[in-house]
Amino acid sequence: MSEKIELNKNKIKLENEGTSKEDFDILMLKLNKPIGELKQIEENKFESKNENLNLEVSYGKGPEDLFFHDTEEISKFSKEKQHLLEVMRLEPQKYKTLENFVLKNKNSEINFKKIIYNNSEFFAKVPPEPAKSNGEGGGNYEHETNSVVFRGDLSTPIGIIIALHEIGHSNDELSKVKLKEFPTSTRSLDDHKYLTKEQIDIYFRSERNAWAFAIKQIKPFIKDLGLTLDDLKTISHKWALKNHSDFAEEMLNGEPYL
Ligand SMILES: [Zn+2]
């Protein structure tokens, strides 16, 4: 995947249609319903089944290179690792490397190992964070370290969809290459960082690309997950990309990125 990145010189195509709170809440109930009961079959291995789906999840070690005893040690880490720690909210001990994630139905299979970009790490919070009613709180793709930090529940449709979205970022040239040119975060709140119009375009298109990837992957499973194509459209376009659109619009109107 190293095709040339063509930048869109035209107007940024944002989403303008959102969803009502009621419709979103109803959809979230469906999306947060676990596939089945997640059973522990070995120390770090879990399985979940229903009539049509078979899910296998296993974890490896924690990100031991990020562990620290004293907050003073943090400043000795590289900038990239400090950023990763920040995304883990300074709790690396609550994460494990995702060793295996395989979801199967009669005709299809999603295997995270096969679809995540070469050498990318996937750190999952174990146990996951409880789902938030606003749908937020899934994960991040960190382009600096080429890793996914994931807090959601991989036994629910929303958890799987968001994980696929982050994996989509790992495969997206804009996310991997162009976002590296963006200003990086600092803890100082007064130190605002702004994006150029071209960068806002890149930011938004990287989100679109990651959603397109997630939708393509999950499509063969929607019936078994009790979802419809319309549900996927709502979650990707009317919710996630609409939120990114609103942020992009604010930035176009002079709001800072960080
Ligand atoms: Zn994203």
Which of 83-97, 177-191, 231-245 bottoms out in mean pLDDT, i.e. has the lowest? 177-191
- Please give the distance, rounded to the nearest whole angstrom, from the Cα atom of residue 56 to the centre of ligand 1: 25
Whether residue 48 is contained in a domain is answered as yes
- Please give the distance, rounded to the nearest whole angstrom, from the Cα atom of residue 72 to the centre of ligand 1: 31
- Please give the distance, rounded to the nearest whole angstrom, from the Cα atom of residue 196 to the centre of ligand 1: 19
- Please give the distance, rounded to the nearest whole angstrom, from the Cα atom of residue 172 to the centre of ligand 1: 11
Buried b (16+ CB within 10 A) or exposed e, 91-112: ebebbbbbbebbbbbeeeebeb
- Please give the distance, rounded to the nearest whole angstrom, from the Cα atom of residue 217 to the centre of ligand 1: 15
Whether residue 8 is contained in a domain is answered as no
Over its C-alpha atoms, the chain yields an Rg (Å, rounded) of: 19
Quickly count: other Cβ atoms within 10 Å of residue 208's Cβ: 21
- Please give the distance, rounded to the nearest whole angstrom, from the Cα atom of residue 238 to the centre of ligand 1: 14
Whether residue 15 is contained in a domain is answered as no
CB 181 within 8 A of CB 223: no
171-208, pLDDT tens digit by residue?
Answer: 999 998 888 888 876 655 667 889 999 999 999 999 99
- Please give the distance, rounded to the nearest whole angstrom, from the Cα atom of residue 73 to the centre of ligand 1: 30
Percent of all residues in the chain with a pLDDT value above 90, rounded to a whole number: 76
User: Which token pair is 220?
Assistant: 């063969």
Whether residue 1 is contained in a domain is answered as no
**135 pLDDT exceeds 90?**
no
Domain carrying residue 181: 21-252
Whether residue 258 is contained in a domain is answered as no
At 12 the pLDDT is: 73
- Please give the distance, rounded to the nearest whole angstrom, from the Cα atom of residue 136 to the centre of ligand 1: 12
- Please give the distance, rounded to the nearest whole angstrom, from the Cα atom of residue 15 to the centre of ligand 1: 15
Whether residue 140 is contained in a domain is answered as yes
Measured distance CA(249)–CA(255) in Å, rounded:
9
At 2 the pLDDT is: 43
List, in order, residues 6 or more apart from 61 with CB less than 8 Å away: 96, 97
Whether residue 98 is contained in a domain is answered as yes
- Please give the distance, rounded to the nearest whole angstrom, from the Cα atom of residue 176 to the centre of ligand 1: 12
Measured distance CA(24)–CA(20) in Å, rounded:
6
Which of 162-171, 183-192, 207-216, 246-255 bottoms out in mean pLDDT, i.e. has the lowest? 183-192
pTM of the model: 0.92
At 179 the pLDDT is: 83
Measured distance CA(227)–CA(23) in Å, rounded:
14
Over residues 66-89, mean pLDDT: 92
- Please give the distance, rounded to the nearest whole angstrom, from the Cα atom of residue 201 to the centre of ligand 1: 14
**248 pLDDT exceeds 80?**
yes
Specify the 3-state DSSP secondary structure of 220: helix
**1 pLDDT exceeds 50?**
no
Nearest to 156 by CA among 178, 132, 181, 180: 132
Whether residue 209 is contained in a domain is answered as yes
At 188 the pLDDT is: 59
Which of 90-104, 126-140, 178-192, 233-247 bottoms out in mean pLDDT, i.e. has the lowest? 178-192
146-167, pLDDT tens digit by residue?
Answer: 999 999 999 999 999 999 999 9
- Please give the distance, rounded to the nearest whole angstrom, from the Cα atom of residue 16 to the centre of ligand 1: 18
Which of 3-17, 58-72, 130-144, 221-235 bottoms out in mean pLDDT, i.e. has the lowest? 3-17
- Please give the distance, rounded to the nearest whole angstrom, from the Cα atom of residue 78 to the centre of ligand 1: 24
Buried b (16+ CB within 10 A) or exposed e, 9-44: eeebebbeebbeeeebeebbeebbeebeebeeeeeb
- Please give the distance, rounded to the nearest whole angstrom, from the Cα atom of residue 111 to the centre of ligand 1: 20
How many domains is the chain built from? 1
List, in order, residues 6 or more apart from 189 with CB less than 8 Å away: none
User: Which token pair is 194?
Assistant: 């702004």
**62 pLDDT exceeds 60?**
yes
**8 pLDDT exceeds 70?**
no
- Please give the distance, rounded to the nearest whole angstrom, from the Cα atom of residue 210 to the centre of ligand 1: 6
Which of 4-8, 19-23, 74-78, 253-257 bottoms out in mean pLDDT, i.e. has the lowest? 4-8
Over residues 126-135, mean pLDDT: 81
- Please give the distance, rounded to the nearest whole angstrom, from the Cα atom of residue 140 to the centre of ligand 1: 7
